Structure 1
Amino acid sequence: MVRKSNVERAHPTSVSVARGAKILPRAVVSKLGKTADTEVARLFSLDLATVRQARQRLEIPPFGRVDWTPDKIKLLGTMSDKKVARKLGVVATTIYSKRMRLGIPAFGPSLQEARHVWSAREIKRLGTIPDARLAAMFGVSTDTVAAKRKSRGIASTGKPYEIRKPWTDAELNMLGRFPDTHVAQVTKRGRRHVRSKRESLGIAPFQKHFIEPWTKKMIQRLGKATDTDVAKELGVGIKTVSLKRARLGIAAFG
């Protein structure tokens, strides 16, 4: 008896993204989500839209996407970005970008920072003027200044991060129930600040793009109402519902 590989069990042998479209072989399907769509299209001489539609139809998250849970966020800065990337199965730049957005210093000092001996006077200047100007004055890179400033808990304004306006219970209850942009407007905070707070609490974003797993009750709703209405009921995007319905061969409502 020949055992099927993980890829064969996880994905069908081929997938058709639309009527009359080219059937994609398993070799292509196995790359979806593990390699950038542009690279898959280049490797197999396919149209980018075809690759993207196939991945979305199979509900495979795009390459490099991370569901940032509190446990995953705790890994940032505890080891090199490359090691964290290997653990989470993404590229190092994804880890670097997330760490910088949250103001988490890199693991260990950079070579340039290790060579630079910070004086008390230099540390006192951190956050008082732009990092780029301090970098020019101290003879180091802007990233080195920013990392040192953030490791001391100093914002670019010179104020500790803790001085930021505290979140009220009512504001916290809005996270994940409304789009981050709406919460930002209501609470008068930056959108990135809202997103970082939500992710640090492990709260999923409003209108998730993927459902895992689909329950029997959810599937029974497909085709019984418009995709728009079902999407609102489930709190997901319309495309998520329509792709799942099409994949199961369920006719649209009406």
Structure 2
Amino acid sequence: MHEIEPGKVVEFFLALDMKVMELNLLSLSSVRAFAAAWEARKEPLHVLINNAGIFSMSAPQKFSEDELEEHMQVNYVAPALLTLLLLPSLSRGSPARVVNVNSDMQWFGVLDPDDLNLTCGKRKYSSVAAYSGSKLAQIYFSSLLECKLRSGSGIHVICVNPGIVKTNVIRTLPKVVQAIYNFIGCFSLSSLEGARSVLFCATDPQVVQYADALKAKGWPVCSYYSSICKPNDTSKHAQNMNLALRLWEKTAEIIGLSTEDIEKLLPIC
């Protein structure tokens, strides 16, 4: 076997047995239908990577068919519902992991569980406020779920910031801004390089060891990894467990799952 130099990205072309299923994160009914179709297979699920997300820069505020602000629904609420509904499959696949792709924008996140849509006038809507808030919400949810999953479940929830990755997220911006972004993009990561830290969190044994160590210390925040595959700190906002609990309760109300419903989905150790 050839050794791979640290930091080097190598492409492997494998024959994969892939199956595609429809899932629309802008529709919670679509999430429920997807989860039901998957659960009907009674197959194990070893890794769930919640990677899909939106950052509609310069676009006006939009709402989903569920009357939720689109950033909050796609980046947080829908993946949270999906994760909870797939817990039985993850339990069958134990040891298993949930990897939530986050962002350094969580450092700028401010969250009010009673105003997730940014419509109450306390904070003015902007795509930055909506996006950063959704990423902060994702950490809150991940941390509480990690705490609720007992050590014997074999399931861990990890957040990872893949870094600045050159994508088409700028497509809604003015041409001048796109040109500047493309210039800066020369110094950002390619999509292949951006996937490195996500795959590391999904596969490397030391990720589980680190998560177990955090639990043993009683640290309330889930494992958070950087783009260079190293544990990293979250913002102080992300360590507010009282706010995290309020968000958890509000999320359960939005997705229509009671405390008893969620307890039934959690693995029995």
TM-score, normalised via structure 1 length: 0.23
**Higher alpha-carbon Rg:** 1
From the two aligned structures, give the one with the greater strand fraction.
2
TM-score, normalised via structure 2 length: 0.23
